[in-house]
């Protein structure tokens, strides 16, 4: 494998990476810029809306009160973009995540292309074919932003040693601080772990010790600053809440616990195709370890070390969620695509054939899957005519590439990426947003409430759960009353408007609320909800 080292060639790679990152950014933000917020996005969109109404602070707010689980950094990004557009929309909410995803695409290409452009493009395809990456890119994702920060730190260290780039030590430390600002303590620990694994595998003991100690000092200083800002924002009680939600709650499983091997097993599905193919690629490496050498293999080893640090490190806390593992995905994508680096051996040839076969079949498989879904699912699907035309064209292009060996690997991968993203944007995303819609019910409810003003009660909805999904659709301040039991609801002064799940309404029969006929019935976050007026 001939590695690009000349300055002119490396500048060319950088220009290509910027073009590829720009194209990726356009792909990431395609679609309606005013989609309703659903699921986990609702919380961050509400943060941004309150910040747009009341101005920035050190922590985001809900119901006018600081929220302890996150610092305001990601909300500030959305707030700044929303100032430009005059409103918080799905575009301004998603754009910071989309930019982070484009940065990841750019850096993957810069890391790998000097050794093999085919390997680099296939690595990018492996990233873009992961459903976890797709769903997080089309959402507000702090973990995606952290993945970009972590990969940037890894790239700065690698580029200095292998591409003759300047040693940007101050830039590394700034990235660690940015990671903390975005994701709290874990946002500094993850990129530090990836850096330390790189220096360890490279035998750079002084750098390992220096970066490790400086990162530890930064962690202490950042935690001190975080707690000071928490005290300024909400006093001693809020400081304890920040410690509980950002540190102890995740370590002891208060936020939800999973087994220690959760990431190693669940990633076979959550991060397919990259993760399972990376595992197969590592097996092929073990089978051919005596015949392989060179900078390509070293990069794979560095990526393996960084990826394992993330997986093992995140396996220690009890709280585990698939999206937490996003900083590992670029490393898995690079390893999975290694067979396209020009390496020899039956195992690698078999993996190349397997991956190209998968890429070739993706458009056809998506068409078959959509036809089956149209017949079997209860949820109505959008018109599939345009998508089927697109998939048919992509399938025809993919078949034609079988006769062009030079373009075959990257071309088939590109067809697979475009087919999957088109299916997600045109079908899966609209269906999901219709299924979990909360805007329609909320808008109808607020029109009725405005016609007959009275206090609003959100019964059994949870101040930090379903209620967030109601409040995110409002463009004004509103302080509802929260009740959980029939007794609490009866003690609320009358008249009132009450929003609740229809199942809760049925259980309240015989009470003033249960005896009131629903003024509005509708779907809310995949459930049947009612609006009552209790005089």
pLDDT digits (tens, 9 = 90+) for 238-292: 999 999 888 877 766 555 557 788 999 999 999 999 999 999 999 999 888 766 7
Residues contacting 528, CB < 8 A, separation 6+: 501, 502, 503, 521, 522
44 within 8 A of 89, measured Cβ to Cβ: no
For 178, the domain range is: 7-244
Confidence of residue 110 (pLDDT cuts 50, 70, 90): very high
Say if CB 16 and CB 109 are below 8 A apart: yes
Residue 38 lies in a domain: yes
Which one is predicted more confidently, 129 or 10? 129
CA pair distance 512, 391, nearest whole angstrom: 56
Using DSSP's 3-state secondary structure scheme, residue 524 falls into strand
Question: Which of 186, 220, 244 is a domain's end point?
Answer: 244
Given pLDDT bands bounded at 50, 70 and 90, which one contains residue 8?
Answer: confident
Q: Are residues 428 and 452 in the same domain?
A: no
In a domain, residue 199? The reply is yes
User: What DSSP line would sit under 63-85, residue for residue?
Assistant: TTEE-TTS-SHHHHHHHHHHHHH
Q: Is residue 315 part of a domain?
A: no
Amino acid 256: pLDDT: 54
Whether 467 and 515 map to the same domain: the answer is yes
What is the distance between the alpha carbons of residues 339 and 358, in angstroms, rounded to a whole number? 15
**Does residue 495 sit in the same domain as residue 392?**
no
Say how far apart CA 505 and CA 426 lie, in whole Å: 36
3-class DSSP state for residue 496? strand
- Spatial neighbors of 175 by CB under 8 A, at least 6 apart, are 149, 152, 153, 156, 191
What is the reported pLDDT for 246?
84
Supply the mean pLDDT for the chain.
Answer: 93
pLDDT at residue number 291: 62
Number of alpha carbons in the 13 Å side-chain half-sphere of residue 208: 12
Residue where one domain finishes, among candidates 380, 407, 435: 435
Look at residue 3 and tell me whether its pLDDT is greater than 80.
Answer: no
| Res. 476: pLDDT tops 80 | yes
Quick one: pLDDT at residue 167? 87
- Cα–Cα distance between 186 and 154 in angstroms, integer? 16
- Asked if 258 and 318 touch (Cβ cutoff 8 Å), the reply is yes
CA distance linking residue 191 with residue 148, whole number of Å: 10
Decide if 224 is inside a domain: yes
Q: 124 and 174 in one domain?
A: yes
For the chain, give the percent of residues with pLDDT over 70. 97
User: What is the pLDDT at residue 2?
Assistant: 61
Instruction: Output the pTM of the full model.
Output: 0.96
Residue-wise pLDDT for 478-531, tens only, equals 999 999 999 999 999 999 999 999 999 999 998 999 999 999 999 999 999 999
Q: What spatial distance separates the first Cα and last Cα of the chain, rounded to whole Å?
A: 79
109 and 73 belong to one structural domain: yes
**CA–CA distance, 71 with 519 (Å, rounded to integer):** 40
Q: Considering 244, 277, 303, which residue would you say is the last residue of a domain?
A: 244
Q: Mark whether 444 and 430 lie in a shared domain.
A: no
Say whether both 529 and 413 belong to one domain.
Answer: no
Report the alpha-carbon distance of residue 354 to residue 350 in Å, rounded.
Answer: 6
What was the pLDDT predicted at 287? 87
Q: What is the pLDDT of residues 39-78, one digit of tens each?
A: 999 999 999 999 999 999 999 999 989 999 999 999 999 9
Res 255: pLDDT: 56
Of the pLDDT bands very low, low, confident and very high (cuts 50, 70, 90), residue 1 is low
């Amino acid at each position: 494998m001939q590695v690009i080292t000349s300055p002119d060639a490396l500048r060319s790679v950088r220009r290509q990476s910027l073009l590829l990152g720009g194209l990726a950014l356009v792909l990431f933000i395609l679609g309606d810029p005013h989609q309703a917020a659903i699921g986990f996005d609702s919380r961050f969109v509400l943060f941004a809306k309150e910040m747009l109404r009341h101005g920035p602070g050190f922590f985001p707010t809900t119901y006018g009160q600081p929220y302890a689980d996150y610092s305001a950094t990601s909300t500030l990004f959305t707030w700044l973009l929303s100032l430009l557009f005059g409103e918080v929309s799905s575009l301004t909410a998603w754009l910071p995540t989309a930019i982070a995803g484009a940065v990841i695409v750019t850096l993957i290409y810069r890391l790998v292309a000097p050794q093999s452009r085919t390997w680099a493009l296939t690595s990018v395809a492996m990233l873009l074919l992961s459903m976890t990456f797709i769903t997080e890119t089309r959402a507000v994702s702090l973990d995606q932003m952290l993945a970009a920060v972590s990969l940037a730190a890894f790239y700065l260290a690698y580029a200095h040693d292998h591409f003759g780039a300047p040693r940007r030590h101050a830039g590394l430390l700034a990235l660690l601080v940015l990671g903390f600002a975005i994701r709290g303590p874990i946002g500094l620990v993850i990129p530090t772990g990836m850096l330390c694994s790189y220096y360890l595998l490279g035998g750079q003991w002084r750098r390992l010790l220096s970066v490790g100690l400086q990162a530890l000092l930064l962690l202490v200083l950042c935690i001190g600053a975080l707690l000071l800002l928490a005290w300024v924002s909400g006093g001693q009680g809020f400081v304890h809440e920040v410690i509980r939600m950002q540190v102890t709650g995740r370590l002891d499983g208060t936020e939800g616990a999973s087994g220690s091997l959760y990431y190693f097993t669940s990633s076979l599905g959550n991060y397919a195709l990259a993760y399972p193919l990376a595992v197969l690629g590592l097996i092929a490496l073990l089978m051919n370890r005596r015949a392989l050498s060179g900078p390509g293999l070293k990069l794979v080893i560095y990526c393996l070390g960084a990826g394992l640090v993330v997986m093992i490190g995140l396996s220690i806390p009890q709280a585990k969620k698939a999206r937490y593992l996003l900083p590992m995905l670029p490393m898995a994508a690079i390893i999975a695509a290694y067979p396209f680096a020009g390496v020899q051996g039956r195992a690698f040839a078999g993996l190349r054939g397997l991956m190209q076969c998968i890429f070739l079949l993706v458009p056809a498989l998506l068409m078959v899957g959509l036809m089956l879904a149209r017949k079997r699912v209860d949820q109505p699907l959008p018109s599939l005519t345009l998508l089927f035309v697109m998939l048919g064209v992509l399938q025809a292009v993919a078949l034609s590439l079988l006769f062009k060996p030079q373009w075959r690997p990257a071309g088939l991968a590109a067809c697979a990426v475009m087919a999957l993203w088109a299916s997600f944007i045109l079908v899966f995303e609209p269906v999901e947003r219709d299924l979990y819609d909360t805007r329609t019910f909320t808008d109808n409810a607020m029109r009725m409430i405005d016609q007959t003003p009275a206090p609003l009660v959100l019964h059994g909805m949870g101040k930090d759960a379903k209620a967030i999904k109601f409040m995110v659709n409002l463009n004004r301040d509103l302080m509802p009353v929260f009740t959980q039991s029939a007794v609490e609801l009866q003690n609320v002064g009358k008249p009132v408007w009450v929003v609740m799940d229809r199942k809760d309404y049925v259980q309240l029969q015989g009470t003033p609320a249960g005896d009131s006929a629903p003024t509005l019935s509708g779907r809310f976050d995949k459930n049947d909800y009612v609006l009552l007026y209790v005089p």
